[in-house]
Structure 1
Amino acid sequence: MEREIVGKFVELYGGEVSGVDKFFAPGRVNLIGEHIDYNGGYVFPCALDFGTYAAARKRDDGKVRFATLNFDLRVEIDIEDIRYRKEDDWTNYPKGVIKEFIDMGHEVGGFDILYYGNIPNGSGLSSSASLEVLTAVVVNELFDCKEDMVEMVKMSQRAENQFVGVNCGIMDQFASGMGKLNHAILLDCETLDYEYAPLKLDGYKIVIGNTKKRRGLADSKYNERRSECQYALECIQKELDIKNLCEMDVETFDKYKHLIDKDVPRDRAKHAVEENVRVKEAVEALNEGDIITFGKLMNASHESLRDLYEVTGVELDTMVEEARKIEGTIGSRMTGAGFGGCTVSIVKEDSVDEFIRVVGKNYEDRIGLVPEFYVANVGDGAGRIK
């Protein structure tokens, strides 16, 4: 891929291969810790070994030329005039990142860039964050801006929030930028405190299943869930001095849950508190090399998201049900916002082919959609390719 993208770059923009720099930023998957980042809880993502590549070279003028091997659209802008334009489509993400550097006082000149992403579109594996973090690394390297990775992660999130207008959290950009080979990241999204946990998957693989169900409900239901959690928090705050639901352990929640006078917000709060505990237990299990317990916690996470938080839907539930029928599956759950998108499963290496064949057929027979599966390795964060 690295050689191919440089060859295509020279075909497109001319010049010599020797003057072209190569970069990569991964996609991510969240292994456990769903719908609790906005409740003061932890997430536990890892970077994947597929993502977005770029070849880039500085120019002598103030022009930036964008192209990708994924789509036909090419865009040229002037570095002095970076604006959001709907017709510029995917290039608004990198444009927003470039503007972040300029707004911070960095002297950024013109450059040519060619992208290629092998994250499936609409899979929920974070293609936009990968594109943003990748662009930040490119600009930082080409123009010697000397920003550290955590700052570039924040800049990438701001670009998506403020320039593109998508109100995403920081997990996706953080995992893409700060990923570490064979490790997952325990991240507090509020403080950005983090630690790495070894993901020793000897004899096992991470298999991501794309339901191919478009996540049409996710945005409206996301806002609904947030408001239900806020209601639950306000009820408990009448007697307990907390800022977030996830400050409580299960014992504390059980003591004060009677204050939540509606069943649905009480269920949402119960999920948040228990899921946060599961994340901590999952990290402990991995630190002890106990992948079986980790798989059981993944299963419990899905059941809570299905029964208490109600964000799964028939497609995700069916794929998880079929995944768990395979003897080599030790854990399977939805990942992401829900109502479509992907599942993540930990599967014995010698059962992966059977998993993909049998789960794929049974899911298609039951749902009528043809799923896709990706066998993922845990990769490093974004950077220049030497």
Structure 2
Amino acid sequence: MDAAELKGKFAEVFGYEEGIRIFFAPGRVNFIGEHTDYNGGYVLPAALTFGTWSVVNQREDGVYRFCSTNIETKIECNVSELIYKKEDDWANYPKGVLSELIQLAGPENSKQYQGADILYHGNIPNGAGLSSSASIELVTGLALSKLAGFDIPMIELVKLAQRAENHFVGVNCGIMDQFAVGMGKEGQAMALKCDTLEFRYIPVEIKGYKLVITNTNKKRELADSKYNVRRNECEQGLEMIKTVFPHIQSLGDVSYEEWEKVRHVLTDQVISRRVEHVIMENERVITAMRVLEGNDLHEFGALMIRSHESLRDLYEVTGVELDSLFEEASKVDGCIGTCMTGAGFGGCTVSLVKEEAVDTFKEIVAEKYTEKTGLVPTFYICEIGDGAKEKLKEEKSCRF
């Protein structure tokens, strides 16, 4: 949909078109650094050019109406009745963000949140691990704060969106997804230290190659998955490490040399494997920053492959579907790097593929993957785009 079509759809749903504004927040892909974010480590994500649009207008009766072109569920709630309801499904994300916005405004200014009609339209595959939830959160935070007359810095909206997901929705996620969605920059990845939020932009120059995201099309419920279990295992591992190195504040601060000295303390082999993944993945991200800046795509691709193997063998968050995509993609001439992206348990892989090999890649991977799993994958050839912003028209996102 372009801007005119979005406005038309808004009028169809809510019965008017005057005074509306349009906002956009992208999805994101993480090239390397999975499950390091909530462990205070490094990540290397980038915003994509597809995402979530919100078409909004102010109300003055305290009622918020949330509607989507993608899902039939239409939710209405009063500003004084912002509670989590399982039956509200996706609308719990914007409700959570609104709740955090009101808390941030404080008693004197919270009256600015007087209600709104909001229509969402997204082209992020639902449940694919490309951060559709963070995209909804950031587009909501930006739109509703602007509508209420507040100019909140993007980094504060990023933190607010994470709080909404942690406290309201109940997913104990790190900050990477929201940060990438809010702070993205066209053509560049973000090298982010998740506990300090120190970051720098790194140009991603892949001339002659394409960024191919492949969706397993396996349904994945992040909040109901083993995500929170993995986080708990890492927290247990950190406490064991602190018996030897009390100064360590997060697994992201543990160097490989320190790990070699302390690994004997982790007598639980499951927890030891989880911790080893995080520490080694953190080292891979630091190396990846350097090789990307040196434009060594082949070494970068090799790091992606090692990342997936660690997520499969040590962290155990891949599964048959993601592993099948990884195995088949790795065999295709012209694919120099591939790995799962996102939390795992389904979702997507990201691959670097020579431009002339993309069609062959899609054909071979799809055929072999379907033979193994019975599922049909979806491919997205994508570009790196900007973070959340107000906009007047829809831009092309990706080619299917």
Q: TM tier, shorter chain?
A: over 0.9
Identify the match of residue 352 of structure 2 among 341, 346, 355. Answer: 346
CA-to-aligned-CA distance 1:203-249 (integer Å, 9 cap, x gap): 22221111123346995543443444344434433333322233232
- Residue 320 of structure 2 is matched in structure 1 by 314
- Residue 271 of structure 2 is matched in structure 1 by 265
- Residue 161 of structure 1 is matched in structure 2 by 166
- Residue 291 of structure 1 is matched in structure 2 by 297
Identify the match of residue 191 of structure 2 among 176, 186, 195. Answer: 186
Once the 2 structures are TM-superposed, how far is the Cα of residue 261 of structure 1 from its aligned partner?
3.0
User: Separation in 2 of the partners of 1:292 and 1:300?
Assistant: 13
**Structure 1 76/13 Cα, relative in aligned 2: closer, same or farther at 3 Å?**
same
Q: Which amino acid aligns with 2:115?
A: G
Which secondary structure does the structure 2 equivalent of 1:338 belong to? coil
Aligned length: 385
User: Separation in 1 of the partners of 2:65 and 2:233?
Assistant: 45
User: Separation in 2 of the partners of 1:237 and 1:168?
Assistant: 23
Identity %: 53
The answer to whether the Cα contact below 8 Å between 1:218 and 1:338 also exists between their aligned partners in 2 is no
The answer to whether the Cα contact below 8 Å between 2:311 and 2:318 also exists between their aligned partners in 1 is yes
- Residue 240 of structure 1 is matched in structure 2 by 245
Are 1:75 and 2:80 counterparts? no
The answer to whether the Cα contact below 8 Å between 1:245 and 1:273 also exists between their aligned partners in 2 is yes
User: Separation in 2 of the partners of 1:38 and 1:286?
Assistant: 24
- Residue 6 of structure 1 is matched in structure 2 by 7
Once the 2 structures are TM-superposed, how far is the Cα of residue 263 of structure 1 from its aligned partner?
3.6
CA-to-aligned-CA distance 1:106-152 (integer Å, 9 cap, x gap): 31122222111111112111111111110111112222211111111
Identify the match of residue 145 of structure 1 among 147, 150, 155. Answer: 150
Counterparts of 1:43-82 in structure 2 under 5 Å? 43-82=43-82
Are 1:277 and 2:283 counterparts? yes
Q: Which amino acid aligns with 2:262?
A: Y
TM-score normalised per structure 1: 0.92
User: Separation in 2 of the partners of 1:265 and 1:102?
Assistant: 39
Stretches of structure 1 lacking an aligned partner (at least 5 in a row): none
TM-score normalised per structure 2: 0.89
- Residue 22 of structure 1 is matched in structure 2 by 22
CA-to-aligned-CA distance 1:51-71 (integer Å, 9 cap, x gap): 111111223443322221112
- Residue 397 of structure 2 is matched in structure 1 by none
User: Separation in 2 of the partners of 1:341 and 1:69?
Assistant: 22
Deviates more, 1:303-312 or 1:328-337: 303-312
User: Separation in 2 of the partners of 1:307 and 1:82?
Assistant: 41
**Structure 1 266/13 Cα, relative in aligned 2: closer, same or farther at 3 Å?**
closer
**Structure 1 55/275 Cα, relative in aligned 2: closer, same or farther at 3 Å?**
same
Identify the match of residue 128 of structure 1 among 114, 133, 145. Answer: 133
**Structure 1 38/135 Cα, relative in aligned 2: closer, same or farther at 3 Å?**
closer
Identify the match of residue 209 of structure 2 among 204, 210, 225. Answer: 204
Identify the match of residue 230 of structure 2 among 225, 228, 247. Answer: 225
CA-to-aligned-CA distance 1:307-354 (integer Å, 9 cap, x gap): 222222222111111001111111001122223221111111221121
The answer to whether the Cα contact below 8 Å between 1:218 and 1:337 also exists between their aligned partners in 2 is no
- Residue 379 of structure 1 is matched in structure 2 by 385
The answer to whether the Cα contact below 8 Å between 2:10 and 2:17 also exists between their aligned partners in 1 is no
Deviates more, 1:246-255 or 1:50-59: 246-255
User: Separation in 2 of the partners of 1:161 and 1:231?
Assistant: 19
**Structure 1 364/80 Cα, relative in aligned 2: closer, same or farther at 3 Å?**
same
Are 1:173 and 2:178 counterparts? yes
CA-to-aligned-CA distance 1:179-210 (integer Å, 9 cap, x gap): 11111112222222222111112122221111
Once the 2 structures are TM-superposed, how far is the Cα of residue 293 of structure 1 from its aligned partner?
1.4
Which secondary structure does the structure 2 equivalent of 1:104 belong to? helix
- Residue 94 of structure 1 is matched in structure 2 by 94
Q: Which amino acid aligns with 1:212?
A: N
The answer to whether the Cα contact below 8 Å between 2:129 and 2:344 also exists between their aligned partners in 1 is no
Once the 2 structures are TM-superposed, how far is the Cα of residue 13 of structure 1 from its aligned partner?
2.8
**Structure 1 239/89 Cα, relative in aligned 2: closer, same or farther at 3 Å?**
closer
Are 1:356 and 2:362 counterparts? yes
- Residue 253 of structure 1 is matched in structure 2 by 259
Once the 2 structures are TM-superposed, how far is the Cα of residue 381 of structure 1 from its aligned partner?
0.4
Stretches of structure 2 lacking an aligned partner (at least 5 in a row): 393-400
User: Separation in 2 of the partners of 1:221 and 1:185?
Assistant: 27
User: Separation in 1 of the partners of 2:115 and 2:144?
Assistant: 10
CA-to-aligned-CA distance 1:58-115 (integer Å, 9 cap, x gap): 2344332222111222233333443333333322221222222222233112222211
Q: Which amino acid aligns with 1:154?
A: K
The answer to whether the Cα contact below 8 Å between 2:37 and 2:43 also exists between their aligned partners in 1 is yes
